[in-house]
Amino acid sequence: MTVVTEDFISPRVQNLQPYQPGEQPKVDGLVKLNTNENPYPPSARVVERIAEVAATSLKLYPDPESDQLCDTIAAYYGVTREQVFVGNGSDEVLAHAFCAFFQHDNAKLLIPDVTYSFYSVYCRLFGIEPELVPVSESLRIDLSAFTAAANTNEPIAGIVVSNPNAPTGESLSLDAIEYLLSLHPTRVVLVDEAYVDFGGQSAMSLVQQYPNLLIVQTLSKSRALAGLRVGLAIGQPALIRALNQVKNSFNSFPLGCLAQQGAIAAFEDRAYFEQTCLAVMVTRVVLADGLKQLGFEVLPSSANFLFVRHPQHSAVMLAARLREARILVRHFKQERVAQYLRISIGTDQQVNYLLKVLEHVLNALEA
């Protein structure tokens, strides 16, 4: 009998098209503006706490429930311990949420057609059919398109939006979130607030009122801890219990003791968090103004990145020219956004270097 090795692999896995994260370069000295990391280091208190824990606690398994961290988060946001879930980065939290809430028979999950592309990947992983709700011409989330999608006779599995949206940076108002929550009260609306600390409006104040609201956040961006892998979800206890059912059917110990204690220290240092978020927002204005002066169209952004296009020059070519100057930015192939570049907000120095290089590139192209 001949064995076809493909037969070893589950059919759904054979057909997966995984998410492609932005490049993490193996060489030093690049100006890295491609994955929305924080340009500033994490709080010194985080690094101190991790060193202390590393010296004493590594031989034991960590607390499987991350109780101390969940208590810290609950106190920070003014919710109860039963309303908090944590995971190994918000990508893992999202995966558990897709598994827990959106696998309903023949039902479609509403997501904007321009948004974080991992959502469609999770749909494929869990066999969920996405309904891609078109954003407007100016790439804004279109509530009337959501209404139309929700009012067909087809069953709905839930709604996922990123607020601010990625990769556009657009911020939705709380009214808009409430509107989405009311569209389908018996299905979960997941609001991914990965970038909310850079000027967006969090839906945290709606959690007590809406049993179908699940908020997901991350420490990767505004708390400069992408390398530690900590994400969280907040919602009413029934939703959190469902997330724990999935988590405890998958991995009892998603957060190591370094991650748990480092994350606690990050929440304790509120002053540093506020100072660095503000610095990013100030630099965002410098970058937006500089890019507009160079002829770019810049979408309004409440995130730590800008989504921009130049009416005369191809985004692929500009990204390549920047790469030659050792600057990484992100380009997405998806047709509707293929003319755009997503540029993470760096330090003032990085942003000024980027603007200088772009000026040089554009002058050379236009000469």
List residues binding ligand PMP (CB under 6 A): 89-91, 116, 162, 166, 192, 194, 218, 220, 226, 231
Within 13 Å and on the Cβ side, how many CA atoms surround 45? 13
d(CA 207, CA 204): 6
To the nearest whole angstrom, how small is the minimum distance from the Cβ of residue 245 to ligand PMP? 21
Residue found by looking up tokens 């321009």 in the block = 114
Task: Between 166 and 183, name the residue whose CB sits nearer to ligand PMP.
Answer: 166
To the nearest whole angstrom, how small is the minimum distance from the Cβ of residue 295 to ligand PMP? 27
Residue found by looking up tokens 């409440």 in the block = 302
Task: Between 189 and 358, name the residue whose CB sits nearer to ligand PMP.
Answer: 189
To the nearest whole angstrom, how small is the minimum distance from the Cβ of residue 201 to ligand PMP? 16
To the nearest whole angstrom, how small is the minimum distance from the Cβ of residue 70 to ligand PMP? 16
Task: Between 111 and 362, name the residue whose CB sits nearer to ligand PMP.
Answer: 111
Amino acid at position 197, single letter: D
Name which of 12, 15, 8, 80 is nearest 235 in CA terms. 80
To the nearest whole angstrom, how small is the minimum distance from the Cβ of residue 89 to ligand PMP? 3
86 DSSP β-pair partners:
232
Task: Between 225 and 358, name the residue whose CB sits nearer to ligand PMP.
Answer: 225
Residue found by looking up tokens 């064995």 in the block = 3
Long-range contacts of 201-206 (CB under 8 A, 24+ apart): 201/163, 201/171, 201/172, 201/173, 201/174, 203/163, 203/174, 203/177, 204/77, 204/78, 204/79, 204/234, 205/174, 206/174, 206/177, 206/178, 206/181
Task: Between 259 and 361, name the residue whose CB sits nearer to ligand PMP.
Answer: 259
345 DSSP β-pair partners:
none
Task: Between 125 and 325, name the residue whose CB sits nearer to ligand PMP.
Answer: 125
To the nearest whole angstrom, how small is the minimum distance from the Cβ of residue 332 to ligand PMP? 12
